[in-house]
Amino acid sequence: AQTVTQSQPEMSVQEAETVTLSCTYDTSESNYYLFWYKQPPSRQMILVIRQEAYKQQNATENRFSVNFQKAAKSFSLKISDSQLGDTAMYFCAFMGAFNAGNMLTFGGGTRLMVKP
Amino acid sequence: NAGVTQTPKFQVLKTGQSMTLQCAQDMNHEYMSWYRQDPGMGLRLIHYSVGAGITDQGEVPNGYNVSRSTTEDFPLRLLSAAPSQTSVYFCASSRGVGAFFGQGTRLTVV
C-alpha cells in the first residue's frame, strides 16, 4: 500500500511572494501519477497540477510548478506570485498507474493562508 | 456542465438513523468512488466502482453500503449512523487520469 505525507499542516505567505508546499510518498510501484488538489472554503476539490512518474520534466501550470524527485519520493508544489485567492487547503495525492478504479491516496493536507 | 452532482449538501442525522447520499455524473465515466474527509487525515476511500454492477471496498468501508445499477449513479448508504461518521463526504468520477469531484456533503451525526 502507498502512503502520502504532508508535513506542514499550516503555512502562510505574503501576497506576491513564493511558497513551497512539501509532499513525500511511499510506494513500491514504478509507474504512477501524482497530483496537487486545491480546496478553497467553498469545499470544491480543484485539480491544480499533475505529474506522470515516467516524465523527468517537472509539470508547470501558470504560477504553479512542482519539484518531482522520484528517487527521493518527493513532490513539492511551488506557488509563485501568491494571490489572495490561493488561500485554501492543498492536498497531495497518489495514483498507481495500474490501479483498477483510478483510486487516489491523499496526504493529510496543508492549509495555506495568503496574507495581504 | 453538471459534472458530478451530490445531494444533499448538508445533513444532520440522529444516531441510528439511516440515509442515502446521492451522487450522479453526466460524463459517462466508468469509475466512481466515495471518500470521506476528516481533519488532518485528508480524504480516505470508502468504496469504489469500476463500472455498472461492480463495486469494491476501499480503506474505510465499515458502516457504508454502495451499489451501481447505472453508469451515472453511485449512491452511498449509511445503514445505522454513528457519531464517528460525522465527516464531509465526496463523490468522484473518472475515466482517464485524475478525478472530478462533487461539491461534498457535510454530515453531522448527533
- For cell 502562510, name the residue: A12
Q: How far apart are CA A91 and CA A95, in angstroms?
A: 13
Average pLDDT (A15-25) is 98
Confidence of residue B54 (pLDDT cuts 50, 70, 90): very high
Contacts of B35 in chain A (CB under 8 A): 104, 106
Question: What grid cell was written down for B19?
Answer: 440515509
Q: How far apart are CA A90 and CA A111, in angstroms?
A: 6
In chain B, % of residues over pLDDT 90: 91
Contacts of B88 in chain A (CB under 8 A): 43
Contacts of A100 in chain B (CB under 8 A): 50
- Considering only CB atoms, B103 lies closest to which of A9, A33, A43, namely A43
Size of interface A-B (CB pairs under 8 A): 61
Hey, are the CB atoms on B42 and A50 less than 8 Å from each other? no
Q: How far apart are CA B21 and CA B91, in angstroms?
A: 9
Q: Between B97 and A53, whose confidence is greater?
A: A53
The reported pLDDT for the residue numbered B98 is 80
Look at residue B52 and tell me whether its pLDDT is greater than 90. yes
Torsion of CA A41, B85, A110, A71, to 10 degrees: -140
Nearest one of B61, B69, B10, B71 to B34, comparing CA atoms: B61
8-state DSSP, A116: -
The reported pLDDT for the residue numbered A102 is 84
Nearest chain B Cα distance for residue A100, angstroms: 7
